[in-house]
Amino acid sequence: MMRKLALAVLFLLAFGVLKAAAQCSLTVTSMSFGTYTGAVLDGTATGKVVCPGAWDIPLNAGTGAGATETIRKMTGPGGAELNYQVFQDAARTINWGNTTGTELTGSGNATVTFYGQIPAGQYVVPGTYTDTLSTATTNFSVTATVVKDCGVSATNMTFGNYTGAVNNSTSTITVTCTNTTTYTVGLSAGLATGATVTTRKMQNGTDLLKYALYSNSAMTTNWGNTAATNWVSGTGSGTAQGLTVYGQVAAGQFVTPGSYSDTITASVTY
């Protein structure tokens, strides 16, 4: 005969034991993921089964709006949601659900582990996120803390051939920050000796080709690396945000022919 165990919960190190049919019981710790910064984050909860015979443990979808047994949701500030999953195995490949074939089964006394995982790339509002997972009669808590975080990438700026006339080009800086997180983006002076954020220089050996970087298409606002002066600011939306860098090589520079290059560092402060 199969006996269904109802989960009992351990809150703040206090045991709660539910007696089921034939004196079966299960105690479970809370699942605390800790701090989430946008990378994959694993967590576990531990259950102890005391039972003389066969048992199975179902696990519902949780309390998050729109949650399913495969995509559960913790709820945070203002109703924001953080997706997570719960698996039966340490490799985190076998989903733990509440329908036939997805429940954990076994026999006799046993220690069981609930393997949780928060997928990468969720830039939700910083704060504390919680959920409650349940069987038919009892439940246990799931928690995570989301902190401010930003990611940044950029495309190369290619001016092509310079013939002494004005030469313009653009680059795109992509910033992805947690929702509601304010940030600024600064651009360094580059690698050339004597370069500044207002007079940048590409190099070809000892030869130099001056150029400038701007934050507006009219190329009147220099893009530098000074707080409250020439940084570009924004507010994270939880999705990628593109910022255009406008570059210009001024006319009238008759430098030695060859290939000129520089490296600019984009710094995101949040």
The sign of the torsion formed by the CA atoms of 214, 260, 172, 124 equals: negative
- Judge if 127 and 186 occupy the same domain: no
- Judge if 141 and 166 occupy the same domain: no
Cα(75)–Cα(72) distance, integer angstroms: 10
pLDDT at 17 over 70: no
- Judge if 114 and 230 occupy the same domain: no
* E-only strand ranges, 196-239: 200-204, 207-214, 232-235
- Judge if 52 and 157 occupy the same domain: no
- Judge if 37 and 130 occupy the same domain: yes
- Split into its structural domains, the chain has a count of 2
* 94-139 pLDDT tens trace: 999 999 899 999 999 999 999 999 999 999 999 999 999 987 567 8
pLDDT of amino acid 1: 25
- Judge if 44 and 115 occupy the same domain: yes
* 145-174 pLDDT tens trace: 999 999 999 999 999 999 999 999 999 999
- Judge if 132 and 181 occupy the same domain: no
Helix, strand, coil share of the chain (percent; to 5) = 0, 45, 50
- Judge if pTM exceeds 0.85: no
- Judge if 223 and 184 occupy the same domain: yes
- Judge if 110 and 169 occupy the same domain: no
Find the CATH number of the domain harbouring 247: 2.60.40.1090
* 71-89 pLDDT tens trace: 999 999 999 999 999 999 9
Give the DSSP letter string of 96-165.
Answer: --SSTTTSEEEESSEEEEEEEEEPS---PPSEEEEEEEE-SS-EEEEEEEE---EEEEE---------SS
pLDDT of amino acid 21: 45
- Judge if 20 and 131 occupy the same domain: yes
Point out the domain boundary residue: 112, 146, 180. Answer: 146
Domain of 78 in residue numbering reads as 3-146
Point out the domain boundary residue: 89, 122, 146. Answer: 146
* 213-253 pLDDT tens trace: 999 999 999 999 987 779 999 999 999 999 999 999 999 99
Point out the domain boundary residue: 123, 146, 169. Answer: 146
- Judge if 79 and 204 occupy the same domain: no
- Judge if 128 and 189 occupy the same domain: no
Find the CATH number of the domain harbouring 100: 2.60.40
